[in-house]
Amino acid sequence: MHTQSIVFITGGTSGIGKETVRALATTGATVVFTARDAKKGEAVQEEITRETGNSTVTFLIGDLSSFASIRAVAEEFKKRYSRLDVLINNAGVLPQERQESKDGIELNLAVNYLAPFLLTNLLLPVLKQSAPSRIINVSSSMYTEGEIRFDDLESKKSFTKYSAYAQSKLALLLFTKKLARDLKGSGVTVNALHPGVIGTEITMQNVRTMNPLVAFIFKRTFISPAQGAETSVYLATSPDVANISGEYFEKKKSVSSAPQANDMDVAEKLETIAKTKVLL
């Protein structure tokens, strides 16, 4: 890694994303995060700069539910920086009912899978020329509940929030594994992780719909956003994982992934569909 590495992370204004920005800023890295709202972005930038003394923390306005916005963010990043050491695809959603993105695509699929797929592909030339570099995808242990439903990828026939979410996180893991294989020998590594169950706004929305006793028990398993950021930070900075690629991590350890995450035929078919959807 360079003396001052450049890290780009999506969704840095709250939850795990914000804590990842904070932790990486303390290492002295240049940290660029996306924010949908300029006021929020400025507030986080000021807070973390003040706390860490790192004046190279900055943000770009970007909406991960819009392909045009993702393209604009990638362009802006490339204009400002000639190097990218670490890309962290952190932003995610878990909508309560079926919603569509700005491009008319089911929101889980759009934000949790297609957004990182597009952004990574747009920034791949910079990552390759900056090698050794790293790509980190924030998945979820819920991927194990997921299946890629090619006959109803966008949950038009039937929508349940957890299965749509699980499918999108499985898609992200399949993308991770396939990309790691494609990038072998390039000096660019790609890994995915489960951050743990965190009391973020996404999680709390779901707790509110639970039976009170179940909610009480579930809440006791929560870890803090700072703890949730630890594996992302580890994968971004640790020399121990410099040459590890295509793995899935929990609590800073590589764990074996379920069979559906290793099906390269499904991964290839999914990639073909993703390319047509994001117009790559």
DSSP state of 85: S
Residue 205 lies in a domain: no
> 125, 211, 114, 241: which is closest to 167 by C-alpha?
114
Q: Edge to edge, what strands does the sheet with 253-255 contain?
A: 58-61, 30-35, 6-9, 86-89, 133-138, 188-194, 248-250, 253-255
Residue 206 lies in a domain: no
pLDDT digits (tens, 9 = 90+) for 31-47: 999 999 999 999 999 99
Residue 171 lies in a domain: yes
Whether the predicted pLDDT of 228 surpasses 80: yes
Domain that holds residue 114: 6-197+225-278
Residue 55 lies in a domain: yes
All residues at 6 or more sequence positions from 108 whose CB lies less than 8 Å from its CB, including other chains: 93, 94, 95, 155, 164, 165, 167, 168
CB 245 within 8 A of CB 183: yes
Q: Give 220 or 252, the one with higher predicted confidence.
A: 252
CA dist 64 and 248 (Å) reads 23
Backbone angles phi, psi at 61, to 5 degrees: -75, 125
Reduced to 3 states, what is the DSSP secondary structure of residue 39?
A: helix
pLDDT of amino acid 222: 67
Q: How far is CA 183 from CA 124, 128, 244, in A?
A: 10, 9, 12
Total domains in the chain come to 1
Residue 212 lies in a domain: no
DSSP string, 122-177: HHHHHHHHT-SEEEEEE--GGGGG----TTSTT-SS---HHHHHHHHHHHHHHHHH
CB 160 within 8 A of CB 97: no
Residue 58 lies in a domain: yes
pLDDT of amino acid 217: 56
Residue 25 lies in a domain: yes
pTM of the model: 0.92
Residue 219 lies in a domain: no
Cβ neighbours, 10 Å, residue 272 = 9
- Once rounded to an integer, what is the mean pLDDT over residues 232-237? 98
pLDDT digits (tens, 9 = 90+) for 106-123: 999 999 999 999 999 999
CATH of the domain at 55: 3.40.50.720
Whether the predicted pLDDT of 101 surpasses 90: yes
pLDDT mean across residues, the chain:
92
Structure tokens at 57: 């923390």
Which amino acids are annotated catalytic?
165
DSSP state of 97: S
CB 191 within 8 A of CB 246: yes
> 146, 193, 153: which is closest to 170 by C-alpha?
146
pLDDT digits (tens, 9 = 90+) for 133-174: 999 999 999 999 999 999 999 999 999 999 999 999 999 999
